[in-house]
């Protein structure tokens, strides 16, 4: 599947997910007003943040599909990372807001909660979120931006389940504090998802090597290539998730230059990285030993 086709498919998934989440958001706000449920309102607030996050993800996907230019030589694919950053920050804000509201209600004492409307609305949200989750799941493993959107909807799904459990408890026992407790559980679930997403974002923005990339193993593969003497000045980073970039200085035997086989060696090296390490964008500087000897001493 081409990169542009992938972005188009992601946009379609996001548009459908946005429609689902927006519809459920309206239903939950009305349901929270009718039932007096804080957990349902908290889940609606969570869905509002998710709706914003999905829209940001959609915009990032559109921008990321723009071609490279002389100014943006890698294109605009890093827009996906900034979209994920916004999603992560939104999740943290919602978690703090829900926690404050839940603690306030527990301290002040619970008002009456209508458990049946609460249960019906939460069940509708569960079904809708499950559909959106299945829609976004295929793209979540290939794009940090889509993974952020997937995590948003996953949080909504867990939130709906939590509200359903709280509604059943209230209906069966009359323990209305279950509503505020459910709100706290929703907030607790949001925080680690936000942390994991922001951690991945910072890994990309700090140009650290991707978590699934073994730099030592790549270096060893290059060294074992016929004609290669040594490798140094190795750099691995990612433009966005699933788009690693690799550069290295490779010291080669004199015969590689004298026989005119530099092109063959470059093809072999780039093919090795593409086949074994899924690195499509690699750049190698071939150099003789005497050149490498006087380069900067601080090489990876």
Whether 231 maps to a domain, the answer reads yes
Per-residue pLDDT at 110 = 56
Res. 5: pLDDT tops 60: no
Please say which residue of 205, 223, 250 terminates a domain. 205
pLDDT of the residue at 111: 61
Supply the mean pLDDT for the chain.
80
**What does the alpha-carbon distance between residue 210 and residue 128 come to, in Å, rounded to a whole number?**
34
Residues 118 and 260 in one domain: no
CATH of the domain at 91: 1.20.1510.10
The pLDDT of residue 154: 82
- Decide which of 186, 205, 224 is a domain's last residue: 205
**Per-residue model confidence as pLDDT tens digits over 120-168:** 888 888 888 888 888 878 777 666 667 777 777 787 788 888 889 988 9
Give the per-residue pLDDT at 7.
Answer: 57
In a domain, 284, yes or no: yes
Tell me, what's the pLDDT at 93? Answer: 84
Asked if residue 298 is part of any domain, the answer here is: no
**Reduced 3-state DSSP string for the chain:** CCHHHHHHHHHHHHHHHHHHHHHHHHHHHHHHHHHCCHHHHHHHHHHHHHHHHHHHHHHHHHHHCCCCCCCCCCCCCCHHHHHHHHHHHHHHHHHHHHHHHHHHHHHHCCCCCCHHHHHHHHHHHHHHHHHHHHHHHHHHCCCHHHHHHHHHHHHHHHHHHHHHHHHHHHHHHCCCHHHHHHHHHHHHHHHHHHHHHHHHHHHHHCCCCCCCCCHHHHHHHHHCCCCEEEEEEEEEEECCCCCEEEEEEEEECHHHHHCCCHHHHHHHHHHHHHHHHCCCEEEEEEECHHHHCCCCCCCC
pLDDT at residue 23 is higher than 80: yes
Segment 39-50 mean pLDDT: 75
pLDDT of 175 reads 84
Residue numbers of the domain that contains 83: 3-205
What total number of domains does the chain contain?
A: 2
**192 and 246, same structural domain?**
no
Q: Are residues 232 and 177 in the same domain?
A: no
Q: Read off the tokens for 60.
A: 């990032």
Residues 287 and 189 in one domain: no
Residue that is last in its domain, among 158, 175, 205? 205
Q: How far apart are CA 175 and CA 165, in angstroms?
A: 12
Summarize pLDDT for 106-117 with one digit per residue, the tens: 887 656 777 888
What is the tens place of the pLDDT at every residue in 213-258?
888 888 888 998 888 888 988 888 888 777 788 899 999 988 888 8
pLDDT higher than 70, residue 62: yes
133 and 256 together in one domain: no
Do 21 and 157 lie in a common domain? Answer: yes
Q: Per the domain annotation, does 18 fall within a domain?
A: yes
CATH number at residue 243: 3.30.70.1350
Residues 113 and 160 in one domain: yes
Residue 1 pLDDT greater than 50, yes or no: no
- Whether 110 and 76 map to the same domain: the answer is yes
Confidence at 294, pLDDT banded by 50, 70, 90: low
pLDDT exceeds cutoff 60 at 212: yes
Residue 219: which region, alpha, beta or left (left: phi > 0; alpha: psi -120 to 50)?
A: alpha
Q: Is residue 299 part of a domain?
A: no
pLDDT at 92: 85
* Whether residues 180 and 95 fall in one domain: yes
């Amino acid at each position: 599947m081409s990169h542009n086709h992938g972005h188009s498919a992601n946009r379609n998934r996001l548009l459908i997910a946005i429609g689902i989440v927006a519809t459920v958001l309206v239903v939950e706000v009305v349901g929270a007003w009718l039932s007096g449920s804080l957990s349902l309102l908290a889940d609606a607030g969570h869905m509002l943040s998710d709706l914003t996050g999905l829209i940001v993800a959609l915009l990032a996907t559109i921008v990321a599909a723009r071609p490279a230019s002389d100014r943006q030589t890698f294109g605009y694919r890093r827009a996906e990372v900034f979209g994920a950053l916004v999603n992560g920050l939104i999740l943290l804000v919602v978690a703090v807001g829900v926690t404050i509201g839940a603690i306030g209600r527990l301290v002040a004492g619970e008002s009456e909660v209508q458990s049946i409307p609460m249960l019906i609305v939460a069940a509708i949200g569960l079904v809708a979120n499950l559909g959106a989750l299945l829609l976004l799941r295929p793209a979540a493993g290939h794009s940090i931006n889509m993974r952020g959107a997937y995590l948003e909807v996953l949080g909504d799904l867990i939130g709906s389940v939590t509200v359903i459990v709280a509604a059943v408890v209230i209906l069966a026992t009359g323990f209305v504090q279950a509503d505020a407790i459910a709100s706290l559980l929703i907030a607790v679930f949001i925080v680690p998802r936000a942390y994991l997403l922001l951690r991945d974002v910072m890994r990309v923005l700090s140009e650290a090597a991707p978590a699934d990339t073994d730099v030592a193993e790549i270096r060893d593969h290059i060294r074992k290539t016929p004609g290669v003497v040594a490798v140094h000045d190795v750099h691995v980073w990612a433009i966005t998730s699933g788009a690693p970039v690799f550069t290295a200085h490779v010291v080669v035997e004199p015969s590689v230059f004298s026989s005119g086989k530099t092109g063959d060696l470059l093809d072999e090296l780039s093919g090795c990285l593409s086949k074994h390490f899924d690195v499509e964008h690699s750049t190698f500087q071939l150099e003789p030993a005497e050149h490498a000897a006087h380069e900067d001493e601080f090489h990876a």
